[in-house]
């Protein structure tokens, strides 16, 4: 009997630790055939912002671009507008989710319509080889989850750090460097 309770509490403890330690989910792709030893310079293309007005797009770009520049500089990459080795592109994707009516009373009777419009968003960063035009690295994150857990002044900095924690290459070095990760 005692072992059943110990086993149950142990399982609850493991589940609790799992949920408490979860960081935002980052989805990433790395081209195994890319020759990371040949990459030393980059250039940032304007982000795709079809869903934003020009003013909103400029504001978002001006807020996120310095964080991206910091991460690329930390890895030893230099900006080259004429002949960059890689092209960096970032995109902020968002839309609204419109779930079903959430104001159901007892016996599933609807008293009055209540519609929730939740904004769903993601941030995507990708690097493309300028010579071959092939994708070498891409990383995206659910911005909603990151924004909910934010404690810092500008959550975009933490989002960029989470994304670049999956790009562990110093300029000109084909071997991943785990020391580039920021906790």
Pairwise pLDDT comparison (124 vs 60), residue with the higher score: 124
pLDDT score recorded for residue 133: 95
Predicted confidence (pLDDT) per residue in 77-88, tens digit: 999 999 999 999
CATH number of 25-174: 3.30.160.670
Pairwise pLDDT comparison (56 vs 75), residue with the higher score: 75
Alpha-carbon distances of 61 from 32, 45, 67, 78, 117, rounded to whole Å: 30, 11, 10, 19, 25
Mean pLDDT, rounded, for 3-26? 46
Q: Where are the domains of the chain?
A: 25-174
Please name the residues in contact with 73: beta carbons below 8 A apart, sequence gap of 6 or more: none
Predicted confidence (pLDDT) per residue in 107-161, tens digit: 555 555 544 444 457 888 999 999 999 999 999 888 766 556 556 577 788 889 9
Distance of CA 14 to the CA centre of its chain: 27
């Amino acid at each position: 009997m005692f072992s059943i309770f110990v086993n149950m509490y142990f399982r609850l403890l493991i589940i609790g630790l799992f949920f408490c330690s979860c960081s935002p989910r980052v989805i990433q792709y790395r081209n195994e055939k890319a020759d990371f030893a040949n990459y030393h310079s980059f250039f940032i293309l304007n982000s795709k912002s079809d869903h934003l007005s020009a003013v909103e797009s400029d504001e978002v770009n001006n807020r996120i671009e310095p964080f991206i520049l910091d991460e690329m500089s930390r890895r030893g990459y230099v900006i080259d507008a004429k002949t960059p080795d890689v092209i960096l592109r970032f995109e902020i994707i968002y839309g609204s989710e419109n779930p079903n009516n959430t104001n159901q009373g007892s016996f599933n009777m609807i008293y009055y319509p209540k519609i929730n419009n939740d904004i769903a968003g993601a941030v995507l960063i990708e690097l493309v080889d300028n010579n071959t035009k092939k994708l070498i690295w891409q990383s995206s994150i659910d911005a909603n989850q990151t924004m909910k857990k934010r404690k810092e002044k500008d959550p975009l900095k933490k989002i960029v750090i989470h994304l670049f924690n999956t790009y562990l290459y110093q300029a000109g070095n084909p071997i991943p460097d785990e020391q580039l990760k920021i906790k």
